[in-house]
Amino acid sequence: MVMGKTIAAGEEARKTPLRGGFWLVVLGAALWGVDPLFRILLLKSLTSSQIVLLEHVVLFLAAAPVLWRRRAELKRIRLRHAGALLFVSWGGSAVATILFTQALSSGDLNAVILLQKLQPLFAIGLAAVILKERLPRYFLPLLLLALAGTYLLTFGWSMPFGHAGSFVTAGSALALGAAALWGGSTVMGRYLLGTMQYETVTSLRFMLALPLLLVITLSQGAPWQLNGGLGTSALISLNLLLQALLPGLLSMLLYYRGLSTTKASFATLAELSFPMTSLVLNWAVYGQLVTWAQLLGFVLIWTALFAISAQQKEQAEPAAQVELRKIS
């Protein structure tokens, strides 16, 4: 009986928001900022859809053994879980990326980027409706602080648009659609982690996205330009492998492991570590100067992240004390 209580307490502890889980989401999202280092060379030979397709093939091959070992969990998948998986793999991975790419080519660039930053608002709203998450105290000021920091990282002190009409465009609607899908993917991922392990969710995300990516790539009919000598082909293959394993597989494993013990409304703010990584890489690799406004934005985001992490720790401690009393 005591062992049964201990196992049950362990399962509850896995679902309890922990400080370490929050920072795993931060680290996983930060690794997304490394992606351009590998993608720049690939774009010289392949289209975006071809790169994403090949990347998912590599990811599926890496994740397939894990999925096979976790196959017992697949028996617990119900229709609502299947819908959430399709939302994460098709909506969050494929469709949202396509919408955002089209938005950049059809709308005001600055307005599109700014509207995409509204992703946390969609995630927080959906988390309250679907997951019944209650927001902690001071959450709204911390959210505004993080969004202000992201704004400064992206635009500095300048206004991002010339007039209000910049927002009333097809590109703006596409950007809002992408933000909604990415925010919803965070919530749906957190929902799935209540039933499956994070390794299973990660593997299924990569596997289920493959058919849709294959259809999209074939429909475009772009030629595969892999010629250029053995050295060039080897370099392309190495870049593709590193891109798939670092900002792809490793980042998603860290992200979903952290998300399994983190509220979706907290995790969506932890994802703001992504633009901070891009800022550091632009400075370190491409020599782009960092402005005082960007430094201030960097500080504002980290201040919000540390404050939110402290809030999660406060919430986790009472839950842990309750479980200890149950065991004893």
DSSP state for residue 78 in the 8-state scheme: -
Contacts of 245 (CB under 8 A, 6+ apart): 58, 62
Q: Which of 93-102, 158-167, 225-234 has the lowest mean pLDDT?
A: 158-167
Mean pLDDT, rounded, for 3-21:
44
Residue 12's pLDDT band (cuts 50, 70, 90): very low
CB 102 within 8 A of CB 48: no
HSE-up (13 A, CA, CB side) for residue 109: 3
What whole-number distance in Å separates Cα of residue 84 and Cα of residue 92? 11
Q: What is the dihedral of CA 122, 125, 127, 133, to 10 degrees?
A: 150
Number of H helices, E strands in the chain: 16, 0
CB 37 within 8 A of CB 29: no
How do the domains of the chain map onto residue ranges?
A: 18-326
* 326 pLDDT above the threshold of 50: no
Taking alpha carbons only, the member of 64, 307, 66, 81 closest to residue 190 is 81
What whole-number distance in Å separates Cα of residue 155 and Cα of residue 293? 9
CA end-to-end distance (rounded Å), the chain: 12
For position 181, what pLDDT does the model report?
92
CB 250 within 8 A of CB 55: no
Residue 1's pLDDT band (cuts 50, 70, 90): very low
Mean pLDDT, rounded, for 238-248:
86
In the chain, the percentage of residues whose pLDDT exceeds 90 is 19
CB 259 within 8 A of CB 189: yes
What whole-number distance in Å separates Cα of residue 130 and Cα of residue 271? 20
* 11 pLDDT above the threshold of 70: no
For position 7, what pLDDT does the model report?
29
For position 289, what pLDDT does the model report?
75
Contacts of 27 (CB under 8 A, 6+ apart): 254, 258, 273
What whole-number distance in Å separates Cα of residue 12 and Cα of residue 316? 11
- Computed on alpha carbons and rounded to an integer, the radius of gyration of the chain in Å comes to 21
Query: pLDDT for 66-99, tens place per residue?
Result: 889 988 998 889 999 999 999 999 998 788 877 8
Query: pLDDT for 39-55, tens place per residue?
Result: 777 877 788 888 888 88
Query: pLDDT for 163-210, tens place per residue?
Result: 445 445 666 788 788 889 988 999 999 999 988 999 999 999 989 999
For position 190, what pLDDT does the model report?
92
For position 218, what pLDDT does the model report?
92
Residue 136's pLDDT band (cuts 50, 70, 90): low
* 3 pLDDT above the threshold of 70: no
CB 88 within 8 A of CB 185: yes
Residue 5's pLDDT band (cuts 50, 70, 90): very low
Contacts of 173 (CB under 8 A, 6+ apart): none
